[in-house]
Amino acid sequence: MKAFKNFVAAIKVLRQAATLPDGERAQAAAAARAGLQEWSAEVMVPRMIGELDSGSVDVERAAISALRAAGLDAIEAVPTLMAYFERTANRKNSDVQNYARKEAAYAAEELMRKARQLVEEQERAAKQALQEREQEEQREEQREQAAARQQRELAPSQEPGWEALMRTVELLGDSTQDPSPDVRIASINALVNLNAPYEKAAPILRARLDDDEARVRVAAANALGRLRPR
């Protein structure tokens, strides 16, 4: 099978294949496509851009087709295609030339549309990646917070004297219900001074906010303000 040395020649053979007899059409098209495959976009695109200035409408149409077929690899050809459309307006107004101008405009429009689609796809992908990263960071933060809470909940029980402290808090809690207001106030203050665990002492102190004695209620409110989570 003949290998083409000129890309434009291969394109022209493809165009002419449709007019050949049935027996020759498939063979010519296959030969042209084989020639096309020998060219990378990196090599082809600059050469086809140069062919747009050849002065031959047939060659220029072949170059336009090649650039259009190259897709986004030929995005750099858009300014040249638009310039070709403007420049050839003053050429002889033949059907072939008009086709070439239209094809140049269509090719430039198609390449720009593909470029916009690519940019939009990249923006969507970047936005999705950012959202996924933010979600993963949130999940990681939640995991760390959960682990910290669990550590805080488990750690005190491992401290020396923890059971004795809990027993003392329980006794002081009972004392906050003593008939004597002085005993209730002393028990309230002792809970704070003892640095009782917030989750244990807070409910006891809140219950005294409804005490019959105003000074007990004040002591309970002050104690809650001084009490801090461990």
Per-residue pLDDT of the chain (230 residues; tens, 9 = 90+): 334 455 556 666 655 655 666 666 566 656 655 555 556 677 778 877 887 887 777 778 877 877 887 788 888 888 988 888 888 877 766 777 788 888 889 889 988 988 888 888 989 998 999 899 999 999 998 888 888 777 666 555 555 677 788 888 888 888 889 999 999 999 889 888 888 888 888 899 999 999 999 999 999 999 888 877 65
Residue with tokens 């990249």: 122
Kindly give, in sequence order, each residue whose CB lies less than 8 Å from that of residue 205, ignoring residues fewer than 6 positions away. Answer: 176, 188, 191, 220, 223, 224, 227
How far, in whole angstroms, is CA 23 from its chain's centroid? 54
Distance CA 95, CA 92 (A): 9
Q: Which CATH fold topology does 157-226 show?
A: Leucine-rich Repeat Variant (1.25.10)
pLDDT of residue 2: 39
Give me the phi and psi of 38, to 5 degrees please. Answer: -75, -10
The structural domains of the chain, with segments of one domain joined by +, span 40-116, 157-226
Separation CA 53–CA 104 (nearest Å): 13
CA–CA separation, 103 and 31 (whole Å): 24
| pTM for the structure as a whole | 0.45
Q: Which amino acid is at 200?
A: K
Contact at 8 Å (CB) between 189 and 216? no
**Residue positions counted in the chain:** 230
161: phi > 0 → left, psi -120 to 50 → alpha, else beta; which? left
Q: Which long-range contacts (CB under 8 A, 24 or more apart) does 216-223 make?
A: 216/181, 216/184, 216/185, 216/188, 219/184, 219/185, 219/188, 219/189, 220/188, 223/188, 223/189, 223/191, 223/192
